[in-house]
Amino acid sequence: MKDAVEIKDIFLSYMGQGTSETAGIGMLGLFLVALIGLVWYSGRKKQTAIVWAIIFSVLCVFNNLSMKILAKFTSEQTFYRFFWAVPILFVIAFVVVKALEESKGILAKGAIVVLVMAIFMNMGPGFATRERFVYSGSMEKIPGDVKQIGEIIEANKMSERPVCLMDLSTQLMIRVENPKVVWAVGRNKRRYFEENGYGTGKYKYVENMLRVVDSGEKIRPRKFKRALKRKNVEFVVVSKGFEMEEYMQRVGLNLVGESDSYLVYQNKEIQVTV
Amino acid sequence: MIEFIQCVGMIMVQLAVFYGLGYLVSVPAGETKIGLKNMVLGFFCYFLCMDVITVPLIMLKQSFSLVVVLWLVVLGIFLGLLCWVRYKYKVKLFSFFQVKNGISWKKLGLYGMIGLIVLILLYLVANQNYWGWDTAYYMGIVSTTLDSDTMFLIDGENGRMEKYIGFRYAFSSFYMNSAFWCRVTGISVVFFQKYVMGSLCIILCFILVCELGKQLFRGNEWKMFLFFLVTAGLNLYFVTGYTTSDFLLMRSYEAKAFCANVIFPAMLLWFLKLHEQLDSKKNWRALMLIVWGSVPVSMSAILIAPVMVAVFVLTECVLVKDLKKSLHLCRNGAFCIGLNVVFLLMYFLFTKGIFMIRV
């Protein structure tokens, strides 16, 4: 998150854009309407002074200049959290209940309920989708593959904290199963390649490793081996679907185990750390 | 099934501890009826006390086992104090459940409906399968702490040794609490974080929504119920990145989710209470406890919570139009944000490379 574009992104997100999940009226639009309702129902009373003060203050804070100043105290990437201080949901809910309270007759109340329901429905599919009601089958969120890989690494490791190379989905879960595992490729570098793709000329060693485990590319074995040596990688986990058995032999890695969908190779030519 | 029962049991245990601590801090302060809002205060008191234990030990690079032993002792002391306060003040522990003129079926129905909707939300949240970078990081902090018996010396995300203790997370005892209960009960990290902490976030959030509803509509329970319904609906029907709903439903086990859905609503609730009774010492103390407990719960509140207090105090100063009262308000506000300012200063020095502890 660096400058104006990012703050715009936050507003857009609150307006229901920028995600595939929701694309309806948006919270921000509803909130602006609710603010008019707040003025309408509160009149000149002082009760809502705090809400107004918070809203105006946050809006004063929520600009690029403030972001640059405040980023000295806290990270720019966490700047969107200032927006949480605005009680968006509560203002909307308060105005809806007030509208129901003030309206006279069952027809008027019914119309408000229908309107609110229509707005909810138009906000997008939201969270309570039919798929989410279907029981996923298990409370355990770690796939069996990750458990098996964690056990194979633990049983065969030479280092106390072995550096391991694997695809993203396995990497994100492996340290819960085996906390001794050290990632060969960290978040920032993975994100760099997600955003820029391969072939930028930056982080060549990391790129060579990711080409093999993420895409199943059979790059020149010497290149891959050099990357493994550079990062002191002890274990390489590749999907069985990539059919890399022969390639890994050429690289000089030993197959030490397999899970349902992955093969686990060990690189014995590492600097062992205890 | 055993794990499910363990998780439900742990949710009960944590809520009971929060309730007990809420009783402990509220009764000596003059409360005669203990309710769910006191449980929220107990939640902040719990993490504040835990921070008093963990932060010095983290700075001294002590083992996590020491935290476990000390925290067990502290919990024992709390239990002893609870018995003593109960004996001395004679305020019933569960006065919350007492009904003066028999059971009101209407009331029972409303609270039953709220309970049912929260249960459905808990099911939906438990049933979803979000696992992102931050999930790996936070689960990693807990599992690394348990495995290595160290605190913040190893990067929870990638497993590499840190060069310096990372104060971006080390001032908050949130994940150490998870590690503590995982060690004591043997529940796995994923189960504890995802089901126990995730559920606690949702439960505490909706307790606060109900309390806000009661506060805004002067105790009218039917309007409070409507307020709850609309808030729950908004949360369910609008989930995009950055929003509080996203953190409540997709990432409820993260400290950030507690920041967005528990800390800020709690602050808002006590702002509203104070707005009505500006000279209420009880409410100022409660606000101070929330703000002091905000960093121990989530580092995200380190700057935003003091800013919110400052905005509240300045607004009230403008409204009271009295210099003496305004100075009094400013003094109270300064007390409330004192601890956050200390944390902020330390964190600022850390980011500038002045205050760093080499691993």
Residue A80 — very low, low, confident or very high, per pLDDT cuts 50/70/90?
A: confident
Contacts of A51-59 spanning 24+ positions with Cβ under 8 A: A51/A87, A51/A91, A53/B311, A53/B312, A53/B314, A53/B315, A54/A85, A54/A86, A54/A87, A54/B268, A54/B308, A54/B311, A54/B312, A55/A86, A57/B307, A57/B311, A58/A82, A58/A83, A58/A85, A58/A86
User: Distance between CA atoms of A176 and B106, rounded to whole angstroms?
Assistant: 47
In chain B, which residues have their Cβ closer than 8 Å to the Cβ of A21?
239-240
Can you tell me which residue has the tokens 């995600």? A19
Beta-carbon separation of A139 and B126 below 8 A: yes
Domain count, chain A: 2
Mean pLDDT confidence for B130-141:
92
Q: Residue B152's domain spans which residues?
A: 2-351
Q: Give me the percent of chain A exceeding a pLDDT of 90.
A: 47
Mean pLDDT confidence for A122-151:
80
Last residue of a domain, one of A110, A133, A156: A133
Beta-carbon separation of B304 and A85 below 8 A: yes
DSSP conformational letter for B161:
B
Higher pLDDT, B11 or A38: B11
* Amino acid type, B302: I
Beta-carbon separation of B271 and A50 below 8 A: yes
Nearest CA to CA, how far is B316 from chain A (Å)? 8
Shared domain for A101 and A217, answered yes or no, is no
Please name the residue of chain B whose CA is at the shortest distance from the CA of residue A179.
B144
Span B58-117, pLDDT tens digits: 999 999 999 999 999 999 999 999 999 999 988 887 766 556 666 677 888 899 999 999
Q: Which of B230, B275, B315 sits opposite A93 (nearest CB)?
A: B230
Mean pLDDT of chain B: 92
Quote the pLDDT of residue B214: 93
Domain for residue B359, yes or no? no
Three-class SS string for A146-207? HHHHHHHHHHHCCCCCCEEECCHHHHHHHHHHCCCCEECCCHHHHHHHHHHCCCCCCCHHHH
Beta-carbon separation of B124 and A132 below 8 A: yes
Shared domain for A12 and A56, answered yes or no, is yes
Quote the pLDDT of residue B114: 95
DSSP conformational letter for A54:
H
Q: Which of A223, A273, A217, A224 is nearest to A243 (CA)?
A: A217
Residue A74 — very low, low, confident or very high, per pLDDT cuts 50/70/90?
A: low
Which tokens sit at B58?
């983290």
Mean pLDDT confidence for A65-80:
70
Which tokens sit at A158?
């030479």
* Amino acid type, B285: R
Say if residues B304 and A87 touch (Cβ distance below 8 Å): no
Mean pLDDT confidence for B320-344:
93
User: Distance between CA atoms of B188 and A152, rounded to whole angstroms?
Assistant: 20
Shared domain for A155 and A245, answered yes or no, is yes
Span A193-244, pLDDT tens digits: 998 999 898 999 999 999 999 999 999 999 999 999 999 999 999 999 999 9
Q: Which of A49, A93, A187 sits opposite B157 (nearest CB)?
A: A187
Higher pLDDT, B219 or B22: B22
pLDDT of B11 > 80? The answer is yes
Q: Which of A70-84, B37-51, B102-116 has the highest mean pLDDT?
A: B37-51
Say if residues A163 and A232 touch (Cβ distance below 8 Å): yes
Quote the pLDDT of residue A274: 57
Quote the pLDDT of residue B59: 94
Higher pLDDT, A203 or A73: A203
Span B256-313, pLDDT tens digits: 999 999 999 999 999 999 998 998 999 999 999 999 999 999 998 998 899 889 988 9
Beta-carbon separation of A14 and B143 below 8 A: no
Domain for residue A139, yes or no? no
Shared domain for A154 and A96, answered yes or no, is no
Quote the pLDDT of residue A2: 38
Beta-carbon separation of A183 and B157 below 8 A: yes
With vertex at residue B302, the alpha carbon angle to CA A32 and CA B72, rounded to the nearest 5 degrees, is 125
User: Distance between CA atoms of B200 and B183, rounded to whole angstroms?
Assistant: 19
pLDDT of A248 > 90? The answer is yes
Shared domain for A126 and A150, answered yes or no, is no
Q: Residue A95's domain spans which residues?
A: 4-133
In chain A, which residues have their Cβ closer than 8 Å to the Cβ of B344?
73
Which tokens sit at B216?
């805004």
Say if residues B189 and B139 touch (Cβ distance below 8 Å): yes
Domain for residue A54, yes or no? yes
User: Distance between CA atoms of B290 and B301, rounded to whole angstroms?
Assistant: 11
Domain count, chain B: 1
Q: Which of B135, B227, B303 sits opposite A94 (nearest CB)?
A: B227
Say if residues A259 and A145 touch (Cβ distance below 8 Å): yes
Sheet holding A233-239, edge to edge: A182-183, A163-165, A233-239, A262-266, A254-258
Residue A267 — very low, low, confident or very high, per pLDDT cuts 50/70/90?
A: very high
Quote the pLDDT of residue A123: 67
Nearest CA to CA, how far is A223 from chain B (Å)? 24
pLDDT of A265 > 90? The answer is yes
Quote the pLDDT of residue B94: 76
Q: Give me the percent of chain A exceeding a pLDDT of 70.
A: 80
Higher pLDDT, A61 or B135: B135
User: How distant, in Å, are the alpha carbons of B63, B88, B183 from that of B69?
Assistant: 11, 29, 11
From the CB of residue A128, how many other CB atoms can be counted at a distance below 10 Å?
17
Last residue of a domain, one of A82, A112, A133: A133
Quote the pLDDT of residue B1: 78
Beta-carbon separation of B231 and A93 below 8 A: yes
Domain for residue A274, yes or no? no
User: Distance between CA atoms of A47 and A40, rounded to whole angstroms?
Assistant: 13
Shared domain for A195 and A238, answered yes or no, is yes
Q: Which of B98, B327, B106, B312 is nearest to B224 (CA)?
A: B106
Mean pLDDT confidence for B226-255:
88
pLDDT of B53 > 90? The answer is yes
Beta-carbon separation of A85 and B245 below 8 A: no
Mutate to test the interface with B, among A14, A78, A89 (most CBs of B within 10 A): A89
Quote the pLDDT of residue A3: 38
Quote the pLDDT of residue B108: 84
pLDDT of A250 > 80? The answer is yes
Quote the pLDDT of residue A17: 59
CB pairs under 8 A between A and B: 204
Residue A34 — very low, low, confident or very high, per pLDDT cuts 50/70/90?
A: confident
Is residue A155 packed enough to be buried (19+ CB in 10 Å), middle (13-18) or exposed (0-12)? exposed
In chain A, which residues have their Cβ closer than 8 Å to the Cβ of B131?
141, 172-173
From the CB of residue B66, how many other CB atoms can be counted at a distance below 10 Å?
15
Beta-carbon separation of A84 and B304 below 8 A: yes
Mean pLDDT confidence for B323-329:
93
Higher pLDDT, B255 or A118: B255
pLDDT of A133 > 90? The answer is no
Shared domain for A84 and A39, answered yes or no, is yes
Q: Which is it for strands A163-165 and A254-258: parallel, antiparallel or unpaired?
A: unpaired
Beta-carbon separation of B143 and A186 below 8 A: no
Q: Which of B4, B42, B55, B48 is nearest to B192 (CA)?
A: B4
Say if residues A4 and B226 touch (Cβ distance below 8 Å): no
In chain A, which residues have their Cβ closer than 8 Å to the Cβ of B227?
93-94, 97
Last residue of a domain, one of A133, A162, A180: A133
Which tokens sit at B30?
């003059």
**What SS3 state is found at A126?**
coil
- A139 to chain B, any CB pair closer than 8 A? The answer is yes
Beta-carbon separation of B128 and A132 below 8 A: yes
CA B199, chain centre distance (Å): 12
Say if residues B275 and A116 touch (Cβ distance below 8 Å): no
Q: Which is it for strands A254-258 and A262-266: parallel, antiparallel or unpaired?
A: antiparallel
Shared domain for A114 and A167, answered yes or no, is no
DSSP conformational letter for B349:
H
Quote the pLDDT of residue A43: 67
User: Distance between CA atoms of B57 and A46, rounded to whole angstroms?
Assistant: 47
User: Distance between CA atoms of B292 and B281, rounded to whole angstroms?
Assistant: 16
